[in-house]
Structure 1
Amino acid sequence: MAYDQSQLEADIAALDGLPVYIAYNANVDAIVSVDEDLESFLERPPDPGETTPPTRLRTKQELATAITRTMATPGGDEVAMTDEFSATLEAELEPDSQQMGGQAGIMTNLLSSLGVSPITYTYLLSPTQQSMFDHPERVRYPRVDDGDLEFVSLADILNTDRTKINWVFEFSAGDELFGVRAKEGSRFIAASRPPEFDLFTGEFDTVIDQVGTVVDGALLAGYHNLTPDHVDAGYEETLRHARDVIRQLRSESEVDVHIEYAVTQDESLRRQMLELILPEANVIGIDTNELHMVQSDADLDIGDRTLSTDHGFDPDEILTHYRVLAALREQLGVECIRLHAMEYHLAVMDEYLHPDAVKRGLEFGAINAATKADRGRITAPSDLETGMTYEPSAKGREAIEVLADQLGAVTEDGALCTPTVVACPNRVVEDPAGTVGIGDIVSSSSFALELAVANGISDRDP
């Protein structure tokens, strides 16, 4: 059955009051368009578009290197800044706009707008950050008082004057910087890494199992925010602690955990996340650029296929995506990995939720993605009417047919739904109002709806 208005209404109704835990990273995104004004602010890099940026940005020239490199390659990218350079940008560069940023912040805003009841933890909550929550009255914050866990209003939590600001440099296809022309629209993020970031949360870590007893699922992200400045001797101790916190979260109840992956140029951190954090998930959310990095880090053997780094659409690429996801899922031992690509969404799974629930989640995620891309933000369920005006991608349908043929399966209304593979076309907005956070929108809306509807169909055979 094709996704229609009645299905949208049913999905929105299913989310009402759903309790979900969300952590760790919320910040403010300062949005800057890539144009002549930005070029005059930056310093021309050597070999624009060709040079790989350093793992910590320190100068305007290194920032220009990172932006032009991202414009020359598919997908977006993110690189951390030093505290000194972060302060320079805050003092000298005026953003075009500001909005909620950070995966936990973006996911909280979306889900609270759709009627979900989030419990959100983030390590910095300044007055500026607090003002970025669209529905603070619907969001609860965990606080430990004399050993007892309580959930309080965001209005009662202000723990710093400092605001974590990430700088987001957005460009459309055809935009140019230092002679490098973007072949597709995307963004580069220059991320701040304040020293206050810590995956050790004191007393809260010891009682987080109580959170697990009152929520249906958890959306966890932000592990990529670690830098060498946050740890004494490598990342292992901190990430082992973070792993133990996940285990403690679901020690008293069966809580599905979604971990949203994110790019970091720190290879050591990526490998430690791969070993210690990702295997703890029930489901992992990832995009094509991130999947390319993980394939390399995990040294996956998928025969003679390799992930393409070229621009343009190739329907056969879905076969490579499928093989990489299947190999990665097996290596990590997780139940499901969900890929959000430009033209389609693809889930590879084993003993996860019922495939019908996953299919509904992916279709709902496509509606949310189109709405976010068109409007720039989602603040109410009625906004999703915008997403319904965009048709499922014809290219996505074509790719999914290729995968279905390979698997000996059949599609229905462009979607593939089997016990181990689910795929649906995305709804693509050619000229998006913004690209930051669309992957987080897809993952959180898909995961929340999966949870909300899974119980109603769990007694049916796949």
Structure 2
Amino acid sequence: MDDARTRLRADIAALADLPVFVAYNANVDAIVRVDDGLGPVLERPSEPGVRSPPSPLASTRDLATAITHTMATGQGDEIAMTDALADRLESSLSPDRQQLGGQTGIMTDLCASLGAAPITYTYLLSERQCSQFDHPDAVRYPIVEDGQIRFVPLCEAEPADRTKINWVFEFRAGDELFGVRATEDTRFIAASRPPEFDLHAGTLDDAIDQVGEAVDGALLAGYHNLTPEHVEAGYEDAHRHAREVIRRLRTGGTVDVHIEYVAAHDDDLRASIYEWILPEANVIGVDTRELAVLSDDAGLDSRGNGPTAETPFDETEILAHYRLLDALRADLGVACIRLHAMEYHLAVLDSYLPPDAVRRGLEFAAINAATKASRGEITAPSDLRTGLEYGPSAQGREAIERLAEYVDEPVDDGTLCTPTVVACPNRVVDDPAGTVGIGDIVSASSFLLELAVATDRDGTST
């Protein structure tokens, strides 16, 4: 434990004042616990737990269909809803609590909480949303004046007059709605899609190279926030514009780009992201469901991609994950794809960063994940001591041993670290305080530490 604490202190020290750009999607999450009080607010679906939900969600019946389907499958999901349904939920539902949401919101908050120096851009930055950040004064916001960027404290940016709200319906295994019993602890997200989230950031787009001059890396997400109603010229034009912004960002300096993937239900939207956005990444972050969707879209065989309610954990599933990640990395031409699974974290790479930097990032991410799951939040570096109280997953170690045999490489203390594949066991919390945002926490924490270690910010060599 003493060695682990020493490593953790070194990792936290390495992140001090690390400059990173984070964009584009932030919102307020309205959290609703699925219980007996929710049913009367919704219209009963025709086949609870069986019928797949439509996209977008246009009624409370559609919403009930989506929630019960997620409860039955045991896999968290997110589907866009119409503006009309978003308005209806805000007028008829009272959340149990509210918190900062969206990949960009969650990752920015983590960056600031761990002592890094985030520069953040998002749309509709309202006073209500700004109040959800734990350390708003530690976050800078880019303002363009006469073609020059000036960075100001987050809440000094001109506030929007309304807020993007996502509704998050959380449930535990055994919870019931319309006769459907939840098979796992997870959640369903009904996501709003305001027209402002069109991947155009006004004058910032033309000056984004100045942001590139000020940062070492970028955590980008929100490319799935488009809808046909709000993008008249089509997904391709919006994503081609976003691609050019990423390229312009890099002209300002050496900027590694992490893209956090979200599997939208719109086939055309996913195809556009795959063609125009993902190939621009240095590293892509996915969970097991997103990996399956990506693999299917790419024409790869993703059967056996992960455990289900009917199939308990099998350590050999890591082999399928490894093969799919390797094939996707080659198909997209990116340097690294990282997977956050329940029992382990896995990265397949090719000349992205030194493997030891990636290993340290994954191990750090496991501590962050356990802390977030146990406490429900990470607001200061000292919180991470909680994550050390949870040991590495025994099932994760078994899976990594199986992968090591497959690639004919040794395992060191449960971790596999080679120039092309890195894996470490997760630290699993059996009774999590919440499930929303843990994947974003994993991706952000691993990427931050990889950057810090690779640039030797802590004074040690990799």
1 CA distance for matches of 2:457 and 2:445?
A: 18
The reply on whether 1:258 has 2:258 as its aligned counterpart is yes
Partner of 2:378: 378
Letter aligned with residue 169 of structure 1: F
Q: Please give the per-residue CA displacement for 1:40-59, whole angstroms capped at 9, x wherever unaligned.
A: 22121111111111111111
Q: Quick one: which of 304, 307, 316 aligns to 2:305?
A: 307
Q: Structure 1 pair 410/276, CA: closer, same or farther in 2 (3 Å)?
A: same
- Runs of 4+ in structure 1 off by over 4 angstroms are 457-462
Q: Structure 1 pair 457/109, CA: closer, same or farther in 2 (3 Å)?
A: closer
2 CA distance for matches of 1:230 and 1:352?
A: 36
Deviates more, 1:449-458 or 1:95-104: 449-458
Deviates more, 1:95-104 or 1:201-210: 201-210
CA contact (8 A) 1:127 1:158 kept: no
Partner of 2:201: 201
Partner of 1:412: 412
Letter aligned with residue 93 of structure 1: L
CA contact (8 A) 1:14 1:453 kept: yes
Partner of 1:128: 128
CA contact (8 A) 2:71 2:180 kept: yes
SS of the residue corresponding to residue 446 of structure 2 reads helix
CA contact (8 A) 2:127 2:155 kept: no
Partner of 1:44: 44
CA contact (8 A) 2:10 2:458 kept: no
SS of the residue corresponding to residue 4 of structure 1 reads helix
Shift of 1:157: 1.0
SS of the residue corresponding to residue 95 of structure 1 reads coil
CA contact (8 A) 1:142 1:151 kept: yes
Partner of 1:249: 249
1 CA distance for matches of 2:69 and 2:391?
A: 32
CA contact (8 A) 1:257 1:281 kept: yes
Shift of 1:133: 1.0
Q: Structure 1 pair 386/104, CA: closer, same or farther in 2 (3 Å)?
A: same
SS of the residue corresponding to residue 10 of structure 1 reads helix
SS of the residue corresponding to residue 243 of structure 1 reads helix
Shift of 1:461: 11
Letter aligned with residue 5 of structure 2: Q
Q: Please give the per-residue CA displacement for 1:151-196, whole angstroms capped at 9, x wherever unaligned.
A: 1111211331201000001111111111211221111000001122
1 CA distance for matches of 2:460 and 2:294?
A: 34
2 CA distance for matches of 1:147 and 1:298?
A: 40
CA contact (8 A) 2:363 2:424 kept: yes
Deviates more, 1:70-79 or 1:89-98: 70-79
Letter aligned with residue 58 of structure 2: R
Shift of 1:326: 0.3
1:43-442 maps to which residues of 2 (within 5 A)? 43-300=43-300, 306-308=304-306, 310-311=308-309, 312-442=312-442
SS of the residue corresponding to residue 45 of structure 2 reads coil
Q: Please give the per-residue CA displacement for 1:23-68, whole angstroms capped at 9, x wherever unaligned.
A: 0001000001111111222121111111111111111111010011
Letter aligned with residue 446 of structure 1: S
1 CA distance for matches of 2:131 and 2:459?
A: 43
**Aligned length, in residue pairs:** 460
Shift of 1:272: 0.5
Shift of 1:19: 0.2
Shift of 1:379: 0.4
Partner of 1:32: 32
Q: Structure 1 pair 445/458, CA: closer, same or farther in 2 (3 Å)?
A: closer
Shift of 1:455: 2.5
Q: Please give the per-residue CA displacement for 1:262-281, whole angstroms capped at 9, x wherever unaligned.
A: 12111110010001100000
SS of the residue corresponding to residue 56 of structure 1 reads coil
Letter aligned with residue 307 of structure 1: N
2 CA distance for matches of 1:6 and 1:92?
A: 50
CA contact (8 A) 2:307 2:314 kept: no
2 CA distance for matches of 1:233 and 1:202?
A: 17
SS of the residue corresponding to residue 262 of structure 2 reads coil
CA contact (8 A) 1:74 1:289 kept: no
CA contact (8 A) 1:34 1:177 kept: yes
Q: Percent of aligned pairs with the same residue?
A: 66
Letter aligned with residue 171 of structure 1: F
Q: Structure 1 pair 295/74, CA: closer, same or farther in 2 (3 Å)?
A: farther
Q: Structure 1 pair 401/230, CA: closer, same or farther in 2 (3 Å)?
A: same
Letter aligned with residue 97 of structure 2: S
2 CA distance for matches of 1:291 and 1:180?
A: 27
CA contact (8 A) 2:55 2:265 kept: yes
2 CA distance for matches of 1:458 and 1:41?
A: 53
Q: Please give the per-residue CA displacement for 1:241-266, whole angstroms capped at 9, x wherever unaligned.
A: 00000000001311100000012111
Q: Structure 1 pair 411/228, CA: closer, same or farther in 2 (3 Å)?
A: same
Q: Structure 1 pair 348/125, CA: closer, same or farther in 2 (3 Å)?
A: same
SS of the residue corresponding to residue 250 of structure 1 reads helix
CA contact (8 A) 1:75 1:288 kept: no
2 CA distance for matches of 1:209 and 1:94?
A: 42
Q: Structure 1 pair 227/314, CA: closer, same or farther in 2 (3 Å)?
A: same
Letter aligned with residue 392 of structure 2: P
2 CA distance for matches of 1:140 and 1:453?
A: 23
Question: Structure 2 length normalisation: TM-score?
Answer: 0.97
CA contact (8 A) 1:52 1:65 kept: yes
The reply on whether 1:19 has 2:19 as its aligned counterpart is yes
Question: Structure 1 length normalisation: TM-score?
Answer: 0.97
